[in-house]
Amino acid sequence: MLTRALVDPEAIERNTALLLRAAGGAALMAVVKANGFGHGAVEVARAAVAGGASWLGVTSAAEARELRAAGIRAPILMWLWAPDDVPDLADVDVSVSSAEALEALARIGRPVSVHLKADTGLSRGGATAAEWPHLLTVAAKLQAAGFITVRGIWSHLANAENPDDPALHRQLIAFGHARAEAAAAGIVDPLIHLANSAAALHLPPARFDLVRAGIALYGVEPVPGRVFGLRPAMTLESTVILTKRVGPGTGVSYGHDHVADRETTLALVPAGYADGVPRRVAGRAEVLIHGRRRPIVGRIAMDQVVVDAGDLPVRAGDRAVLFGPGDAGEPTVAEWADWAGTNPHEILTGIGPRVPRCPRPGGAC
Ligand X SMILES: *Cc1c(COP(=O)(O)O)cnc(C)c1O
Task: Say if CB 11 and CB 232 are below 8 A apart.
Answer: yes
Number of shown-chain residues binding ligand X (CB under 6 A): 11
Is the CB of 13 or the CB of 318 nearer to ligand X?
Answer: 13
Q: Does 215 bind ligand X (CB under 6 A)?
A: yes
Strand partners, 285: none
**DSSP output for 264-292:** EEEEEE---GGGT--GGGTTT-EEEETTE
In whole angstroms, what is the distance from residue 87 CA to residue 72 CA? 19
Q: Does 265 bind ligand X (CB under 6 A)?
A: no
Q: How far is the CB of 27 from ligand X (least distance, A)?
A: 14
Q: Does 213 bind ligand X (CB under 6 A)?
A: yes
DSSP 127: B
Which residues, including other chains, have CB under 8 Å from residue 126's CB and lie 6 or more apart?
97, 117, 118, 119, 120, 155, 156
In whole angstroms, what is the distance from residue 270 CA to residue 313 CA? 19
Is the CB of 154 or the CB of 323 nearer to ligand X?
Answer: 154
Q: Does 232 bind ligand X (CB under 6 A)?
A: no
**Of 276, 343, 335, 345, nearest to 305 (Cα)?**
276
Q: How far is the CB of 214 from ligand X (least distance, A)?
A: 3
Task: Determine the interface stretch with ligand X among 64-72, 215-223, 276-284, 319-327 (rule: CB under 6 A).
Answer: 215-223
In whole angstroms, what is the distance from residue 219 CA to residue 69 CA? 27
Is the CB of 112 or the CB of 200 nearer to ligand X?
Answer: 200
Pick one of 9, 38, 121, 214: the residue that binds ligand X (CB under 6 A): 214
- Residues 294/296/298/300 CA torsion (nearest 10 deg): 170
Task: Say if CB 148 and CB 140 are below 8 A apart.
Answer: no
Which residues, numbered 171-210, are part of the site for ligand X (CB under 6 A)? 196-197
Which residues, numbered 142-171, are part of the site for ligand X (CB under 6 A)? 156
- Residues 110/111/114/116 CA torsion (nearest 10 deg): 100
> Catalytic site residues?
33, 254
Q: How far is the CB of 122 from ligand X (least distance, A)?
A: 9
Q: Does 212 bind ligand X (CB under 6 A)?
A: yes
Convert residues 31-50 into a mask of x (bound to ligand X by CB under 6 A) and - (unbound): x-x-----------------
Is the CB of 196 or the CB of 253 nearer to ligand X?
Answer: 196
Is the CB of 212 or the CB of 294 nearer to ligand X?
Answer: 212
* Interacting residues toward ligand X by CB under 6 A: 31, 33, 156, 196-197, 212-216, 222
